[in-house]
Amino acid sequence: MFEQTFRNIDDVLWKEAGCATELDYTEQSSWMLFLKYLDDLEYERAQAAELVGKSYAYIIDEPYRWSAWAAPKTADSQFDHDTALTGADLIAFVNGELFPYLQGFRDRATGPDTIEYKIGEIFSEIRNKFASGYSLRDALELIDGLSFRSQKEKHELSHLYEAKIRNMGNAGRNGGEYYTPRPLIRAMIKVIKPKIGERIYDAAAGSAGFLCEAHDYLRYGADGQGDGKRDGSHLSTSDLEILQTRTFYAKEKKSLPYVIGIMNMILHGIEAPNIVHTNSLTENLSDIQEKDRFDVILANPPFGGKERKEVQQNFPIKTGETAFLFLQHFIKYLKAGGRAAIVIKNTFLSNSDNASRALRKELLQSCNLHTILDCPGGTFLGAGVKTVVLFFEKGAPTRKIWTYQLDPGRSLGKTNPLNDNDLKDFVARQANFEDSENSWTVEVNDIDPDSVDLSAKNPSKAKAAPLRDPEVIINEIETLDRESEEILEGIRGIL
């Protein structure tokens, strides 16, 4: 129903000089979508209050409400062209009045877990990139045609927004950081089996894909067979309140994914997402208390990055590799008996440096690393590295590791991505740690205690190195090019 509207919005943004990539399109769509969502939410609340004879205190003051400046209406509910701002007047209002007003919510809010605080955070982190008030007027009218007033409409909008996030993965050099293939996330969640009442955490949330999928699993069930019926009617009012306020927790360092993550969670039904805009790695692990820990952790932390020396001092195992610091963070933040599923590059399993070996030993000793999913090249579009998923429980040492080598039987790429069917065999066999042609079990006592090499070596397959798919090689070249460009930019900054 709304797909053509999203295309038309992108066409408007394409003509704007300040919007050059899919990253810009998603950012600019996000702030307009958020304000339209907020207007619809306030309208619903005002109507509900009126039905029971109560007054409603609006969050947004009247001059700044969507219905006042973005889509004013006449008495017969038609668009009011006479009072609607456009051209230079519209840009002046948005940049000089609207954004400063919305940014002020961060100071006026009663706490960071309120929707008021999220409003202030969002509009402090992004800016309007429209230079033409006429283009902005066109975009606003298109956004106004979208509606958030029914669950069906929100569901469709969430799917369209997910498609925009997926397209970002192919757009800019940072886009791929924000998108983990949803079939992989769903398989991870089916293995972890979160329950209502458990607190779920992602310290590198990106576009919040893990939390959105976990929400859908808990509310609607996994393929209709999870916690209950597909329509969510099995949940009590108390269950729904727990899902809204005390289930999903996240942190995100970068501004754009922080904003997109909030919008993504809102579209999936979480009104005031518990996403904090911060660098999780700046926290000192020795300061974490029991009340800070979580039942379930689902994450795909960034890898290949480097953290400064002062950040590394927060961790018992010193390393510059971002993903290895995040893994320590996750182990520390997990409750005793808590479960985690973490995506990490496959070199973690065999790297011979001291930090990698120490971290593997720590993982095996403090947690039960029961499952490793070895993902094929091309699982992550644009990433030139192979990845694995580590599944572990905290509190007891590892005795056995069951490894599954995912083989979809085809080369994965932009036109042939991973799908849910590719992971069905893994999920089914993992339930009983069933050995097969693609899965096997290793006793911890058989692992070399010095190297602690956990790399996937399928005993049922020949040891000959497989031919690598050309698309995987191209992805690796693109990744190396991006890394080289970043190094050169750093050198230019020094000169």
Which range is least confidently modeled, 8-12, 96-100, 341-345, 408-412? 408-412
Q: Considering the domain boundaries, does residue 30 fall inside one?
A: yes
Which range is least confidently modeled, 161-165, 244-248, 479-483? 479-483
Task: Please indicate, yes or no, whether residues 144 and 179 belong to a single structural domain of this protein.
Answer: no
Task: Please indicate, yes or no, whether residues 190 and 106 belong to a single structural domain of this protein.
Answer: no
Q: Considering the domain boundaries, does residue 154 fall inside one?
A: no
Task: Please indicate, yes or no, whether residues 210 and 134 belong to a single structural domain of this protein.
Answer: no
Which range is least confidently modeled, 250-264, 330-344, 432-446? 250-264
Q: Which domain holds residue 302?
A: 175-446
Q: Residue 55: which CATH number?
A: 1.20.1260.30
Using CA of residue 224, residue 343, residue 194, residue 292, what is the dihedral sign? Answer: negative
Task: Please indicate, yes or no, whether residues 251 and 334 belong to a single structural domain of this protein.
Answer: yes
Which range is least confidently modeled, 140-149, 371-380, 462-471? 462-471
pLDDT of residue 17 exceeding 60: yes
Q: What's the confidence (pLDDT) of residue 176?
A: 47
Q: Which of 402, 427, 446 is the last residue in one of the domains?
A: 446
Specify the DSSP class assigned to residue 109.
Answer: S
Q: Could you report the per-residue pLDDT of 36-74, keeping only the tens digit for each?
A: 989 988 998 999 999 999 999 999 999 999 999 999 998
89 or 78: whose pLDDT is higher? 89
Q: Answer yes or no: are the C-beta atoms of 85 and 66 closer than 8 Å.
A: no
pLDDT of residue 225 exceeding 60: no
Q: What's the confidence (pLDDT) of residue 291?
A: 93
Confidence of residue 203 (pLDDT cuts 50, 70, 90): very high
Residue whose structure tokens are 């094929």: 376
Q: Considering the domain boundaries, does residue 342 fall inside one?
A: yes
Specify the DSSP class assigned to residue 449.
Answer: T
Q: What's the confidence (pLDDT) of residue 392?
A: 98
Mean pLDDT of 204-229: 78
Q: Which of 134, 149, 164 is the last residue in one of the domains?
A: 149
Confidence of residue 389 (pLDDT cuts 50, 70, 90): very high
Task: Please indicate, yes or no, whether residues 19 and 69 belong to a single structural domain of this protein.
Answer: yes
Confidence of residue 494 (pLDDT cuts 50, 70, 90): low
Confidence of residue 149 (pLDDT cuts 50, 70, 90): confident
Which range is least confidently modeled, 70-74, 148-152, 158-162, 209-213? 148-152
Task: Please indicate, yes or no, whether residues 339 and 194 belong to a single structural domain of this protein.
Answer: yes
pLDDT of residue 436 exceeding 70: yes
Q: Answer yes or no: are the C-beta atoms of 121 and 274 closer than 8 Å.
A: no
Q: Answer yes or no: are the C-beta atoms of 288 and 241 closer than 8 Å.
A: no
Confidence of residue 412 (pLDDT cuts 50, 70, 90): confident
Mean pLDDT of 353-369: 95
102 or 460: whose pLDDT is higher? 102
Q: Residue 354: which CATH number?
A: 3.40.50.150
pLDDT of residue 311 exceeding 90: no
Considering just the CA atoms, what is the radius of gyration of the chain in Å? 24
Q: Considering the domain boundaries, does residue 94 fall inside one?
A: yes
Q: Could you report the per-residue pLDDT of 442-451, keeping only the tens digit for each?
A: 999 999 999 9
Q: Considering the domain boundaries, does residue 466 fall inside one?
A: no
Task: Please indicate, yes or no, whether residues 255 and 371 belong to a single structural domain of this protein.
Answer: yes
Task: Please indicate, yes or no, whether residues 184 and 251 belong to a single structural domain of this protein.
Answer: yes
Confidence of residue 164 (pLDDT cuts 50, 70, 90): confident
Q: Answer yes or no: are the C-beta atoms of 355 and 323 closer than 8 Å.
A: no
Task: Please indicate, yes or no, whether residues 219 and 72 belong to a single structural domain of this protein.
Answer: no
Q: What's the confidence (pLDDT) of residue 229?
A: 43
User: Count of residues for the chain?
Assistant: 495
Mean pLDDT of 128-152: 89
495 or 467: whose pLDDT is higher? 495
Task: Please indicate, yes or no, whether residues 48 and 182 belong to a single structural domain of this protein.
Answer: no
Number of domains in the chain: 2
Q: What's the confidence (pLDDT) of residue 177?
A: 58
381 or 37: whose pLDDT is higher? 37
471 alpha-carbon distance from chain centroid: 25
Q: Which of 132, 149, 166 is the last residue in one of the domains?
A: 149
Q: What's the confidence (pLDDT) of residue 460?
A: 80
Q: Considering the domain boundaries, does residue 455 fall inside one?
A: no
Residue whose structure tokens are 């056995």: 400
Average pLDDT, the chain: 86
Q: Considering the domain boundaries, does residue 168 fall inside one?
A: no
Task: Please indicate, yes or no, whether residues 237 and 287 belong to a single structural domain of this protein.
Answer: yes
Task: Please indicate, yes or no, whether residues 137 and 253 belong to a single structural domain of this protein.
Answer: no
- Residues 6+ away with beta carbon under 8 Å from 260: 26, 27, 30, 165, 178, 207, 208
Q: Considering the domain boundaries, does residue 489 fall inside one?
A: no
Q: What's the confidence (pLDDT) of residue 260?
A: 87
